[in-house]
Chains A and B, each alone.
Chain A
Amino acid sequence: MGIRDLIPSWPVMQQLRGGDRLALGKAARSSRQAELKPRTAGADEVVKSICPYCAVGCGQRVYVKDGEITQIEGDPDSPISRGRLCPKGAASRNFVQSPLREYRVKYRRPHATEWEELDLDTALDMIADRVIKTRGETWEDEDEEGRHLHRTLGFAHLGGATLDNEENYLIKKFFTAMGAIQIENQARI
């Protein structure tokens, strides 16, 4: 920017030109502020979602720019929440972008004092082996009175109230087929 544009853009000049002689308003406003836009304005898409915390089920709008979440706020269309959020819901972005979030598998072998890295597919494979082994060792085909049991008490599952219905469905479906019955979650009533 050359001196020629600099001078007129100098707020003092704008003051002299009148309108805002005291430099309390427009004259004092920087060009940056003049062109200010909310960061959501440039969003690539606005995704309709639901708050992950309690069971009220408030509507959320998730603003995405270049594959990054730029803002999560209440969805005014929701007849439940009317666009409002509690502190937890309002902190959703802070949560999904938490500095404490883990992005890699961590593995701790028996008696170890440190975590190790492990590739996801290997982890899944090892887990599958553990499940099959434990199931085999603890299988109960029938009880002492010869009644059909067809089950294992060798492993248990916990969790579900924070998960999706579809996920709970697969958990229950698969583990039941495996003969596991100790499938539980936060909700006992």
Chain B
Amino acid sequence: MSGRYEPQPQLAGSEQGGSPDGRGAVRMVPEEEVRSYYGRPVLKEPVWTWEVPLYLFAGGMAGGSSLLSLAARAGGNHTLARRALLVALGGATASPVLLVSDLGRPERFYEMLRVFKPTSPMNLGTWVLSAFGATTGAAVAGDILGIFPRATRLSEVASAVLGPALSTYTAVLISDTSVPVWHAARRELPFVFAASSMASAGAAAAILTSPEDAAPARRLTVGAALVELGLTEVMKRRLGDLVAEPYEREEAGRLDKLSKSSTTVGAALMALAGRRRPAAVAGGALILAGAVLERWAVFRAGFQSARDPKYTVVPQRERLRDREGA
């Protein structure tokens, strides 16, 4: 269309200029390619609050820990096993609290179990979390009281089996949305979450366990942390410059950087000086912090990605162009 003219930029003044005291100039240079409705988002930003990223972290750590615990048990390292199991239980108790408090109508949390809904990651997740809580709880109880050994073992196994599911489904949860930066990363995100879950699990255990019993935890921590760092990069690269842009900008950008450095330093400490308790504690703490920050970065990136129509429109336009080309 020759002579195309977009009123948006002219009018966007009041939109982007915040309070419409007319700070937006009468005419601004029209933004090219991206057409939009006065620069307003096509999508709604998520309404989720701080509890959610914390849950992503806690659930992940819990899942990793139950697995770690079982492995330690199998290897006869009962101290490590018990510590890890306690961490799992901690995570399993924190998670529902966080989830419920994020609801618009907390008193109605039970509606989550109203249906069994395969198409809803959150619904499945709730079932998984409930089961995980129950089994882990049973396992811990049996372990401490030393009663019903067989049932206790069984619960440990069950909890360990559910663990990985708990750690990774949260990735499905957020990528099963129309938020570009989340949905486009649906392949990579589970791995990123898995890795950081293992790292957190290892780190938590390494903190709680005396160094001589914590070697496997340290190895797990360091290994997983490195994988996590690598995978995040892979994810961003596969997202492409535009879609991944939120990770470079504003809040998400800052969180992402912070998480990287924290994890790197933590891993280094753990690797080089993990045999000494203080270093292990410090390193572990940094790894955990890194994991929290990383989940937070992903979380905030989603908001930024939903807020700007270009992240929604441009990729869809390209897709159309490809298709017409084909």
Decide yes or no whether A10 CB sits under 8 A from chain B.
yes
Chain B, interface SS category: loop
Decide yes or no whether A105 CB sits under 8 A from chain B.
no
**Total A-B contacts with CB atoms under 8 angstroms apart:** 19
Considering the chains assembled together, what is the distance between the CA atoms of A86 and B117 in angstroms?
43
Decide yes or no whether A22 CB sits under 8 A from chain B.
yes
Could you say which residues of chain B place their CB within 8 Å of the CB of A15? 115-116
Residue of B114, B118, B119 with highest tally of chain A CB at under 10 A: B114
Map CB proximity to A onto B113-128 as digits: 1 under 8 Å, 0 otherwise: 1111111000000000
Are B118 and A12 in contact, CB atoms less than 8 angstroms apart?
Answer: no
Name the residue on A nearest B116 (C-beta). Answer: A12
Considering the chains assembled together, what is the distance between the CA atoms of A27 and B115 in angstroms?
9
Considering the chains assembled together, what is the distance between the CA atoms of A134 and B115 in angstroms?
78
Are B118 and A11 in contact, CB atoms less than 8 angstroms apart?
Answer: no
Considering the chains assembled together, what is the distance between the CA atoms of A23 and B115 in angstroms?
7
Could you say which residues of chain B place their CB within 8 Å of the CB of A11? 114-115
Considering the chains assembled together, what is the distance between the CA atoms of A27 and B117 in angstroms?
11
Write the nearest CB–CB distance from A25 to chain B, whole angstroms.
Answer: 11
Could you say which residues of chain A place their CB within 8 Å of the CB of B115? 11-12, 15, 23, 27-28
B118's partner among A22, A27, A28 (CB-CB below 8 A) is: A22
Are B119 and A12 in contact, CB atoms less than 8 angstroms apart?
Answer: no
Map CB proximity to B onto A94-131 as digits: 1 under 8 Å, 0 otherwise: 00000000000000000000000000000000000000
Could you say which residues of chain A place their CB within 8 Å of the CB of B119? 22, 24
Considering the chains assembled together, what is the distance between the CA atoms of A22 and B119 in angstroms?
8
Residue of A10, A15, A22, A27 with highest tally of chain B CB at under 10 A: A22
Q: Which residues B232-288 have CB closer than 8 A to chain A?
A: none
Considering the chains assembled together, what is the distance between the CA atoms of A171 and B204 in angstroms?
88
**Chain B residues engaging chain A, CB cutoff 8 angstroms:** 113-119
Known A22-B118, A23-B117; 13 more pairs at CB < 8 Å:
A10-B114, A11-B114, A11-B115, A12-B113, A12-B114, A12-B115, A15-B115, A15-B116, A22-B119, A24-B119, A27-B115, A28-B114, A28-B115
- A–B pairs, 18, beta carbons within 8 Å: A10-B114, A11-B114, A11-B115, A12-B113, A12-B114, A12-B115, A12-B116, A15-B115, A15-B116, A22-B117, A22-B118, A22-B119, A23-B115, A23-B116, A23-B117, A24-B119, A27-B115, A28-B115
